Amino acid sequence: MGWTDRLPLDGLMMGEQLLLSRLIDYAADYHGKTEVVARELDGTVARSDWASVRRGAARMANGLRAAGFDGECRVASLEWSTLAHLQHYYAVLGLGLPLHTLNPRLTPDDLAYMVRLVGDDVVIFDTENAALAASLAPLVPEVAAWISVGDIADELVAAFPRLIRESDLLAGAADAVIWPEFDENRAATICFTSGTTGRPKGVAYTHRSITLSAMNMSMADMYANTRGGEAECVLPIAAMFHANAWMMPFSAALNGQKLVLPGRRLDAGPIVDLIVDEAVTLAGGVPTIWTGVLDELDRRGITSTPLRTALVAGTALPGHIFDRLTERGVVARQSWGMTEVPGAARGAPPLGASRQTPEQQRKLAVERQGRVAAQARARLVDGEGQPLPFDGVAAGDLELRGPTVLSRYVGEPPEAAREWLATGDIAVIHPDATLAIVDRAKDVIKSGGEWISSPQLEAAAVSHPAIAAAAAIAMPHPRWQERPLLVCVAEAGLTVSDEELRTHMEAAVARWWLPEMIVYRADLPLTPTGKINKAALRAEYIEAEGSKR
C-alpha cells in the first residue's frame, strides 16, 4: 500500500513556543491598565499595572544584558513577594535564563548547597535579605556577582566580592525589549522542595510546563471560577520562592487578572487589609493562613468581603475552616499539588455536586483534595506496582505523569528520568475523579497489615477542646508491627486524661486506630514551610527509625 514508505504528515500550524515572555506581553498589550499591587518591604502598598510591570522587566533585562549577564548565565533571587521580584521573574525568564528562587527561611548552609547545585552565577537580593546574602556570599565564592535591590548597610558591602546596585544596573536601561525566541523546554524557574528529611531537592520547571500549568489552573474549575468568566483579582498568600506562589504570577498574566502580592509577611492583619482594600475575589493559602484570616475578620467584626473563593492546599481543609468560610459567603475549594506537580488536582466539585445537599457538598469539599486534572494523570499502585481501580476504596501509592510533572531533580542523571512520579502520598481516587489523600506514605501507620491514617487521627485529637495540636507517628510494635504514638500540645490551662481523649476520638475513628501512647510537649517542630516535622519527632521519640526517614 502506498503509505508504507511515506514520511509522517506534519500539521501546518505555527511552531510558536510556549514561552513565559508571551504571558507578560499578553498582559501588557491587552490588559496593560489592569492593576498589579504589592505590599512592599516597608509595609506600604505599591500600585502598578501590567504595562508598567513589563516596562520594569524590560529595564531589568536590558540592564542585565548590558552588564554581561546573558548567554547561559544562571540567576538566583533571594527576595520576598514584591513588585521588584515580579519584574525580576519576567526579566530573567524573558531573557531565557534560569531563575533560581531561593527561600530566605533556609540556613546559609542549605542555600549554599542549592546555589552550588544549580551553578548560580548571579544572586539578586532585597534589603531584608541583605544580611542573609552577606552570610551566604563567603560560602559560595563561585557566584560572580551580587545584585542588591534597595539600600544596603555599609558594613555588609565588604562581604560581597562583586556588588552591583540594582539602581546602577537600571540607570539608562531602555524600558522596552523584544524578548528572544528559544526552546520552550529550557529551564525557567528552579525551586527547591522543603524536604522534611534530608537535603532539599531542586525542581527545574520549563517554559512549557509553567505555561501549561498556568493554563490548567485557569480552567473553569480552578483559579478563575467564581464570576461567570469575568476576570478575578487574585492574591497568592504564599511566597514567590515557593512553587512560584502557586503559579499565580503567571496565571494572572495569562488571564489579564488583577494580581495582588503579599510582600514579606503573611500575617493575617496585612492580608485582610489587602483583601478588603484591593477587592480580592480569589486567594490561595494553606489552612493555618485561613484560620488567621478568619480570626482577624472576627476581631474586626467584618462579616462580608469581596472574597468569593478561598483555595486551600498544602494540607487538608479542616471542616471548621470550611464552615467559617461558608458562613461568610466564601466558596472553599481544595486543590492538590506539590512543587514537583503544581495544580495536579483541580478545585472543582464533580458533575452533579450542585444538586447535592449542603451536607454532602461539605463532605466533598472537606474530604476530597480536588479532581484529577488532564495535564497530570494520576494512578494508584499497590506494593507490587500494580495499578488499583478508581473505586473510592482502594488506597495506593499516588503516581503522576504528564507535561507538568517533574521528570528528575536537579543533579540527577538523565537515566533517573521517571515514567511516573511517585508522590510519596497514599491516596484514593473516586469514580467522579476526585482525589482523597489518605496520608504521606512515610507517615502512614501500618498496624496489623492495615493502614492507620495519621492526619485523620490528628484531626480526631484536635477536635477535643484541650488539644491545640497533635502529630501521630508510628511506634514499632512486636505484635502489630506498628502502633500510633500521639504527640500532643495542650491548650493553655486545659488538660484531658488519656482515657477521656481516647473516648472522645472514638467518635471519629475506629477503635483499633486509637493511639497506643499519648505524650505532651510545649510545641511541635515545624519544617521551613510550616508543616509538622515528623522526621524530627520520629528521631526524638522512636529509637529504631531506620527506613522511616
d(CA 445, CA 123): 43
Shortest distance in whole angstroms from residue 257 CB to a copy of itself: 8
Cβ nearer to a copy of itself, comparing 352 with 493: 352
Question: Grid coordinates standing for 303?
Answer: 462579616
Q: Residue 130: helix, strand or coil by DSSP?
A: helix
Q: Which three cell numbers stand for residue 405?
A: 510533572
Contact 447, 476 (CB under 8 A): no
The CB-of-192 to a copy of itself minimum distance in angstroms stands at 13
Nearer to a copy of itself, 160 or 513 (CB): 160
How far apart are the C-alpha atoms of 19 and 137, rounded to whole Å?
Answer: 32
CB of 373 or CB of 460, closer to a copy of itself: 373
**Shortest reach from residue 510's CB to a copy of itself, in Å:** 29
Q: How far, in Å, CA of 334 to CA of 349, rounded?
A: 9
Phi/psi of residue 495, nearest 5 degrees: -140, 160
Residue 194 CB-density burial (10 A; 0-12 exposed, 13-18 middle, 19+ buried): middle
Instruction: Determine whether 548 is an active site residue.
Output: no
Query: By C-alpha distance, which of 484, 462, 463 is closest to 472?
Result: 484
| Nearest-approach distance from CB 431 to a copy of itself, in angstroms | 7
Give whichever of 421 and 496 is closer to a copy of itself, judged by the CB atom: 421
Closer of 65 and 502 to a copy of itself (Cβ): 65
Q: Is 179 a residue of the active site?
A: no
Q: Residue 21 Cβ, how far from a copy of itself at the closest point, in Å?
A: 12
Choose between 191 and 294: whose C-beta lies nearer to a copy of itself.
191
Instruction: Measure CA of the first residue to CA of the last residue in the chain; give whole Å.
Output: 59
Nearer Cβ to a copy of itself (282/473)? 282
Between 4 and 386, CB nearer to a copy of itself = 4
Residue 314: CB minimum distance to a copy of itself, A: 20
Instruction: Based on the residue annotation, tell me whether 146 is a catalytic residue of this protein.
Output: no
Catalytic residue among 35, 193, 363, 412: 193
What DSSP designation does 44 have? Answer: P
Which element (helix H / strand E) includes 460?
A: helix 454-462
User: Do 480 and 454 contact (CB within 8 A), yes or no?
Assistant: no
| 56 contacts: CB under 8 Å, gap ≥ 6 | 48, 83, 84, 87, 91, 175
Give the amino acid at 260.
Answer: V
Task: Give the residues across from 99 on adjacent strands.
Answer: 75, 189
- Nearest alpha carbon to residue 55 among 176, 178, 179, 180: 176
Candidates 446, 480, 516, 531; catalytic one: 446
From 35, 288, 326, 451, active-site residue: 451
Sheet containing strand 435-440, strands side by side = 377-381, 396-401, 421-429, 435-440
Q: Which residues pair with 311 in a beta bridge?
A: 284, 333
Nearer to a copy of itself, 224 or 535 (CB): 224
Packing angle between helix 83-94 and helix 50-66, nearest 10 degrees? 60
Instruction: Return d(Cα 517, Cα 528) in angstroms, integer.
Output: 28
In degrees rounded to 5, what are phi and psi of residue 101? Answer: -90, 105
Question: To the nearest whole angstrom, how small is the minimum distance from the Cβ of residue 243 to a copy of itself?
Answer: 13
- Rounded Cα distance, 235 and 245, in Å: 9
Least distance between a copy of itself and beta carbon 232 (Å): 8
| Cα–Cα distance list, 534 to 467, 474, 506, 549 (Å) | 18, 10, 23, 9
Place of cell 467559617: 324
Given a contact cutoff of 8 angstroms between Cβ atoms, the answer to whether 424 and 340 are in contact is no
Residue 446 falls in the annotated catalytic set? yes
Q: How far is the CB of 14 from a copy of itself (least distance, A)?
A: 5
Exactly one of 79, 184, 232, 340 is catalytic; which is it? 340
> Any idea which residues carry the catalytic annotation?
193, 340, 446, 451
